[in-house]
Amino acid sequence: MKRLLLFIMLAMPMMVLASSVKSPNGNIVLTFELNGSTPTYSMTYKGKDVIKPSRLGFELAKDKHATMGMDQHDLMDGFYVMKEETSEFDETWKPVWGETATIRNHYNELCVTLGQEIVLKRRGPAVPGIHERPATALRTMLIRFRVYDDGIGFRYEFPQQRFLNYFIIKDEHTEFAMAGDHTAWWLPGDYDTQEQETQQTKLSEVRERMQKAVNWDNSSVAVFSPTGVQTSLQMKSDDGLYINIHEAACLDYATMHLELVDSQTKALTTKLGGGSNAYTPAPAPSPYPLPQPFTFVSHLTPDATGLKGAMQAPCNTPWRTVMVSDDARDMLSSNLILNLNEPCKIEDTSWIHPTKYCGVWWEMIVGKSSWNYTDDFPSIKLDSIDWTKVKPNGRHGANNEKVKRYIDFAAKNGLDQVLVEGWNVGWEDWANMWKRDVFDFVTPYPDFDIKMLNEYAHSKGVKLLMHHETSSSTQNYERHIKEAYELMNKYGYDAVKTGYVGDIIPRGDHHYSQSMNNHYLYVIKEAAKHHIMVNSHEATRPTGLCRTYPNLVGGESARGTEYEAFGGSRPDHTCILPFTRLQGGPMDYTPGIFETRLSTWSDNKSWARITIAGSLALYLTMYSPLQMAADLPEHYEKFDDAFQFIRDVACDWDDSRYLEAEPGDYITVARKAKGTDNWFIGGKCDENGHRSKIKLDFLDKKRTYQCTIYADAEDAHYETNPQAYTITRYVVKAGDVLKLTEAPGGGFAISLIAQ
Amino acid sequence: MKRLLLFIMLAMPMMVLASSVKSPNGNIVLTFELNGSTPTYSMTYKGKDVIKPSRLGFELAKDKHATMGMDQHDLMDGFYVMKEETSEFDETWKPVWGETATIRNHYNELCVTLGQEIVLKRRGPAVPGIHERPATALRTMLIRFRVYDDGIGFRYEFPQQRFLNYFIIKDEHTEFAMAGDHTAWWLPGDYDTQEQETQQTKLSEVRERMQKAVNWDNSSVAVFSPTGVQTSLQMKSDDGLYINIHEAACLDYATMHLELVDSQTKALTTKLGGGSNAYTPAPAPSPYPLPQPFTFVSHLTPDATGLKGAMQAPCNTPWRTVMVSDDARDMLSSNLILNLNEPCKIEDTSWIHPTKYCGVWWEMIVGKSSWNYTDDFPSIKLDSIDWTKVKPNGRHGANNEKVKRYIDFAAKNGLDQVLVEGWNVGWEDWANMWKRDVFDFVTPYPDFDIKMLNEYAHSKGVKLLMHHETSSSTQNYERHIKEAYELMNKYGYDAVKTGYVGDIIPRGDHHYSQSMNNHYLYVIKEAAKHHIMVNSHEATRPTGLCRTYPNLVGGESARGTEYEAFGGSRPDHTCILPFTRLQGGPMDYTPGIFETRLSTWSDNKSWARITIAGSLALYLTMYSPLQMAADLPEHYEKFDDAFQFIRDVACDWDDSRYLEAEPGDYITVARKAKGTDNWFIGGKCDENGHRSKIKLDFLDKKRTYQCTIYADAEDAHYETNPQAYTITRYVVKAGDVLKLTEAPGGGFAISLIAQ
């Protein structure tokens, strides 16, 4: 049988076999073709090319550890189709938390089983279960396509088999051939940071923008190519198609970047440099021909060896996703990424809950107080300091008095939790030292009474929110994680914000490698065992894992509000993030800055590019079950009428309607609060302002609503007059129309309370 | 003051400042000299050169993480002497276990404080505690020399200071300039294995022997230089000096190799290749001039980045040691390495005890039974197999019946413990796959009833000895270590044999790097918390840490008895190891093979190059508090009269006398069993045989002794007649003389029971 298949394969190398599958509504057509013996796919939307024929496959490392010492023939060509299967799937599921109460997962599937005959080396280790070493062997690889109304997902699958058992990926060669010189909203492809400002250029302009796009002062820069970009990558074609490339369910696999082949590309991946990248071996050149210009090629994040992935069959890659629509709002309402993830694996989810919180944090970011307790030592070793005897610097933020002030504020304003950063010893020399034993995660500074403060908080119906900065010393975190979580359980914490600032230890590894992705998942699973929710900062960008592990309630993985204290972010930033970063899951963006001119209350000269009304809008437009009121209590107290919206707004929803959207320009969304008939609407725009006309056709026709509108004042402006807002109240009903004007860098927020 | 010192330094660059210190008996003279501004040292023994003037210092990596972004001037020159201090130390301490009841630590010390003025970059991060950035800064480094009667130790120390805070070592440049073309017993310098056969050549012959010295089939070879060798390195000069270079107290620091500069050396360290070495960046060339031929230069083991050490002051290096004598026996009786380690850090040591054991092990090594339970899968994932349903291969060694047989044997013969390898799931694809989640260390195979077997053993006064093969996936081991040790506590195990076969995960790291040495120590400390003794296989070679952590009762870290089943080791092998590997601590050599021709009872064609009498001798000549009777019970039962010696011999001692010794030729030692007046004597020789004349002048003059001599028969020979031995009994007294003949590859063993 095997010989027959080999014969067939050899006999038809020039044939093109094509199979297509359509989305349920027929708008999207996915075509798989074997071009010669090379797998390719293409995709159209309403007859327009979205992905032109694009190669699929893998280069394998010629590594001694792989596949019983057998010949490491790449998984690039030499394939024939053994089997094709199509199927339909339609199911509605309920997320533990989310933008809607239910999510429909409806797709048509094409699964292609590919065979590849390889020649075996004469000598080599024994293969378990095989007594006589054959001359050739069959390897199989499946490619599974799922075609939705709003896009496609596909992944590679490797069944358990004798001759493709362990293998190491040198690089994945999944191509995405674009049909034109689209406009793209992109971040420089980087192994360690995703906190740069998003660039908006034509694909043809990526190369010339790259040097300017990289802030080389960022301590974690590790850029790999002059045309490398990150996912989720949002694009728009000249003929009005919105296209988004990302991935779903990236579990024990490296995070994917995209390397753009343009007219100047001579070869893939010339290592560009930066930080810990200096220690990553330069990749060996690929022997395969370059694709056409405007093609993206997958580029996986390497570990310290420069290798991209250690695989053991049975296994599969994450889903590679391409979302498409001629309506930008569909990019935001899509559940494609979540749907491609596995159902919830946590049996009892009763302890997982949406959370609104404030915290001892912004004043440290701004520089008004400090994480560390003393300035006395050039460096510290945790086991050799008597903390009760060191000289305090007098600026330590996480002190009993201040934390109680925040607890009081949270209790008074209905906030669930209070984050406290800098509570534990080790902050004196925590960052950028490649220091392994940086924190123990259990020892508080002497002015932070962990028992008293938790009891005080609980007595007021508030919880503290734990903070575990790892300083990227993941080995150290894993050594302490059980004791750290036991401490949390002991004192009644149920959520942790983790952090991964600086270069990774084990040294030479990168934030987005397979091993680090495994670490983040390990943390999520260990936390789940202890009924702890995780909010992971500086971790890899999310790919919808929160469906499977809903205790992953948030993350950073992008440029957050903290950058407003580091020089600022452009006003359009928050009109891009929902199209890019938020595709994979919620972001702990920490909105709510009311005192935008930091110099009015600190020595920090930076300022937030947003109006107060715009800040309120973010609680809607930046969906997250974890929402912070990030500014200081005294700043909210100055604007208590506006703060009322933050008190009122929900953070879990039964329904969401994206009313208006254009990447980098504006986003308007209406959401129905969980278990109620109340709606909240937010609109956020870029530096150009925006006029919104909102038809309230989603309200319950049998009810009226108390409508409160928090809007930019007529003369509001993110730079010159950010604190000018108006609050107006009406009674409205279904079908009414609201007309709103958003100031430059502004927005609006509306609460509609059912009567 | 600082400026004045700078002036002095600049004013005398060509001066040579020398300070000397002698050993307590005056035989050894250590001289420290500042040659220009470069630190050097030299050493003589009875007026003869041992170490000619040799450079001391460090090249530092120009890494962004180091020293607050300051200029990374190397620690090689530009030094001046700030202070010199001499002192004497004389103390006697008691080891928890050992070759003698007490150990004298007697040395003279010279401690030199060196200053180095460095120019600071104009810009750079703030230095804590320093408000205005000075133009220059003072850095200090101490070199502490301890001079014993049998050698020297010295180390570098870095006090806490503002301008040498965090730094990364590119390489340590400690030189050892030999006075001639000595004979050396050496192993190829290798980042991952120390299990090659020892080579005996002149220093000038190392380079031409190297290719032959490396067994490239070893799965862990990572060789770094054509003249790189390992420590402990034993040498002998043409004029009869025995010289040994090693290190003591290697804690959070990379293991040191030695790179020999010979007449052909053009530059240090050309990467030679092998295994995981492929992923280690090639070291940048050193800008410093080469030393004279016959000089060894320290070469530290890199981690995955190619860097050698991440340091945080205050800190120090391990001790670099040079032992010397004109009597080879002094090499074996020396306690210099132990003395240079810190005193015991474990408060309650009552649970630490010498142990004699047998185990389900040798039959797997030989290939007669298997570690794994099934052959059914090309690979396995621990979380997806129902072990009760898989098909057993019928060869699984660690089954209830067999383990009970070993327990019965141990109980009958006074052995304390039974090692069982292959008891836990995961052995189906454990090695050489770079598989991370290879074992969970808590799940037994279905035919190993962990509860029943421990209870059975305990009912007979025997304990089981735990086995944790990590497959070098240290990340996986650290994740499971607490649960694994809790399981041991639960079932009453008090000792674990750990293993590190294969390449390290985190991938790219090496067995002997700083990070791995930190891991081994982490394991020892975690074990101590659980009152568990550790016997660490394939870990880094020991440097006397068992003084500080006496729960480290043994280790492998050399070519053990297992190689007798892998083609054999030379008969002189066990006459070299006590001079080399054993300098740092006891070895779990697993002696006691009686059925040396493996083909008589298995399909294995290999054979052990030793006689039965020689095997008995190893229980004396290879000192260890942990001694295995490695052969199968049925083989011992065939030779029960010889096995009587293994039943009788102690493994903890009040006194030890090395009676005869020559590296690679013969070793004879007499030891007095702990808390008794009984003595045991062992003599072991190489392939040439040996005649011993033993004067029993160490016996108690007031007593007589029942003397039993286990000797090679007249026609015994390790190859042709290994099982020919005689057992004779006498009554002897102090002053009597025994004459013994050791066959080629043979030896003898004597018990002297006080009457």
A473-510 pLDDT, tens digit each? 999 999 999 999 999 999 999 999 999 999 999 999 99
Of the candidate ranges B1-15, B48-62, B173-187, the one whose mean pLDDT is the lowest: B1-15
Answer whether B254 touches A (CB < 8 Å). no
Cβ distance of B378 and A313 shorter than 8 Å? yes
**Chain B partners of A518 at a C-beta cutoff of 8 Å?**
436
**Average of pLDDT values for A650-654?**
97
The catalytically annotated residue of A172, A247, A421, A562 is A562
pLDDT above 80 for B665 = yes
Give the pLDDT confidence of A262-287 residue by residue, as tens digits.
999 998 876 667 777 788 888 788 89
d(CA A563, CA A310): 36
**pLDDT reported for residue B73:** 86
Say whether residue B7 is in contact with chain A using an 8 A CB cutoff. Answer: no
**In the predicted model, is pLDDT for residue A656 greater than 90?**
yes
With contacts defined as CB-CB under 8 Å, which chain A residues touch B377?
128, 160
Say which range, A275-279, B316-320, B614-618, has the weakest mean pLDDT.
A275-279
Q: Is B56 helix (H, G, I), strand (E, B) or coil?
A: coil
Q: Mean per-residue pLDDT for B640-659?
A: 98
Q: What is the mean pLDDT of residues A285-306?
A: 94
Question: Which chain B residues are closer than 8 Å to A435 by Cβ?
Answer: 166, 310, 312
Q: What is the mean pLDDT of residues B348-374?
A: 98
Contacts of residue B303 in chain A, CB cutoff 8 Å?
Answer: 506-508
Mean pLDDT of A313-319: 97
Cα–Cα distance measured from residue B535 to residue B555, given in angstroms and rounded to the nearest whole number: 5
Residues A182-210, mean pLDDT to the nearest whole number: 97
d(CA B531, nearest CA chain A) in Å:
19
Confidence of residue A735 (pLDDT cuts 50, 70, 90): very high
Cβ neighbour number for residue A49 with a 10 Å cutoff: 16
CB contact under 8 A, A313 and B379: yes
Best B312, B474, B505 residue to mutate vs chain A (most A CBs within 10 Å): B312
What mean pLDDT value characterizes chain A? 94
Closest CB to B304 among A219, A436, A508: A508
Predicted confidence at residue A268, as pLDDT, reads: 87
CB pairs under 8 A between A and B: 142
Give mean pLDDT, residues B601-626. Answer: 98
What part of A 298-327 touches B (C-beta under 8 Å)? 303-307, 310, 312-314
CB-based contact, A166 to chain B, within 8 Å: yes
Contacts of B305 (CB under 8 A, 6+ apart): A279, A304, A507, A508, B281
Given a cut of 60, is residue A563 above it in pLDDT? yes
Catalytic-residue membership of A84: no
Query: Alpha-carbon distance B287 to B59, whole Å?
Result: 9
Residue B5's pLDDT band (cuts 50, 70, 90):
very low
Q: Which residues of chain A neighbour B479 with C-beta distances below 8 Å?
A: 478, 522
Contacts of B314 in chain A (CB under 8 A): 381
- Residue partners of B646: CB distance under 8 A and separation at least 6: B356, B413, B592, B616, B619, B629, B636
Q: What is the pLDDT of residues B29-75, one digit of tens each?
A: 999 999 999 999 999 999 999 999 999 999 998 877 765 545 568 99
Give me the helix-helix angle, B612-621 and B640-648, nearest 10°.
Answer: 0
Contact criterion met (CB < 8 Å) for B507 and A307: yes
Q: pLDDT tens digit string along B95-134?
A: 999 999 999 999 999 999 999 998 877 665 555 556 676 7
Express as a percent the part of chain A with pLDDT over 90: 88
Name which of B63, B310, B508 is nearest A304 (Cβ-Cβ).
B508
Question: Hey, CA dihedral for B402, B403, B404, B406, is it positive or negative?
Answer: positive
Closest listed residue to residue A512, CA positions, set A222, A207, A187: A222
pLDDT of residue A134: 77
Whether pLDDT at B537 is above 50: yes
Q: Report yes or no: A253 and A517 within 8 Å, Cβ to Cβ.
A: yes
> Residue A123: is it exposed, middle or buried by C-beta count within 10 angstroms (0-12/13-18/19+)?
exposed
Mean local confidence (pLDDT), A455-484: 98
CB atoms within 10 A of CB A508: 31
Q: Is the pLDDT of residue A13 over 50?
A: no
User: Which of A65, A166, A507 lies closest to B307 in CB terms?
Assistant: A507
Average pLDDT over residues A124-142: 74
Chain B residues whose beta carbon lies within 8 Å of the beta carbon of residue A436: 310, 515, 518
Contacts of A65 in chain B (CB under 8 A): 432-434, 503
To test the contact with chain A by mutation, choose from B163, B507, B515, B518 the residue with the greatest count of A C-beta atoms within 10 A, namely B507
| Strand A533-537 to A552-555 pairing | parallel
Find the closest chain A residue to B67 by CA distance: A433
- Give residue A16's pLDDT: 53
Task: Report chain A residues whose CB lies below 8 A from the CB of B282.
Answer: none
pLDDT at A187 > cutoff 50: yes
B interface test, pick of A164, A279, A513 with most B CB neighbours within 10 Å: A279
Contact status of B391 with chain A (Cβ, < 8 Å): no
Per residue in B641-655, is it b (16+ CB within 10 Å) or e — as a string?
Answer: ebbbbbebbbbbbbe
Distance CA B320, CA B340 (A): 10
**B696 to each of B344, B651, B738, B753, how far by Cα in Å?**
34, 21, 8, 13
* Chain A interface includes B74 (CB < 8 A): no
User: To 10 degrees, the CA torsion angle through B118, B124, B129, B132?
Assistant: 80
pLDDT tens per residue, range A42-78: 999 999 999 999 999 999 988 777 655 455 689 999 9
Shortest CA distance from A518: residue in chain B:
B436
Q: CB-CB: which of B165, B381, B434 is closest to A378?
A: B165
Contacts of B307 in chain A (CB under 8 A): 279, 507
Hey, are the CB atoms on A304 and B515 less than 8 Å from each other? no
Q: How far apart are CA A374 and CA A391, in angstroms?
A: 6
Q: Mutate which of A72, A162, A305 to test chain B, going by most B C-beta atoms within 10 A?
A: A305
Mean pLDDT of B313-324: 97
Q: How far apart are CA A613 and CA A636, in angstroms?
A: 13
B435 touches chain A (CB under 8 A): yes
Across A470-605, the runs of DSSP E, i.e. the strands, are: 495-499, 533-537, 552-555
Q: Inspect the interface and report whether the beta carbons of A509 and B434 lie closer than 8 Å.
A: no
Query: Looking at the complex, does the CB of residue A381 fall below 8 Å from at least one CB of chain B?
Result: yes
Whole-complex ipTM: 0.94
B389/A contact by beta carbon, under 8 A: no
> Distance (Å, rounded) from C-alpha A416 to C-alpha A135?
66
Percent of chain B clearing pLDDT 90 (strictly above):
88
Q: Do A128 and B506 touch (CB under 8 A)?
A: no
Per-residue H/E/C for B76-138? CCCEEEEEEEEEEEEEEECCCCCCCCCEEEEEEEEEEEEEEEEECCCCCCCECCECCCCCEEE
B224: closest CA among B184, B171, B182? B171
Q: Which of B127, B310, B506 sits opposite A509 (nearest CB)?
A: B506
Does residue B480 belong to the interface with chain A, where contact is any CB pair within 8 Å? Answer: no
Residue B582 CB partners (closer than 8 Å, separation 6+): B622, B623
Residue of A nearest to B125 (CA): A432
A218 interfacial to chain B (CB closer than 8 Å)? no
With cut-offs at 50, 70 and 90, classify the pLDDT of residue B8.
very low
Q: What is the pLDDT of residue B63?
A: 77
> Helix (H, G, I), strand (E, B), or coil: what is residue B612?
helix
Q: What is the rounded distance in angstroms from the CA atom of residue B491 to the CA atom of residue B444?
A: 13
Confidence of residue A2 (pLDDT cuts 50, 70, 90): very low
Distance to chain B for A165, nearest Cα, Å: 7
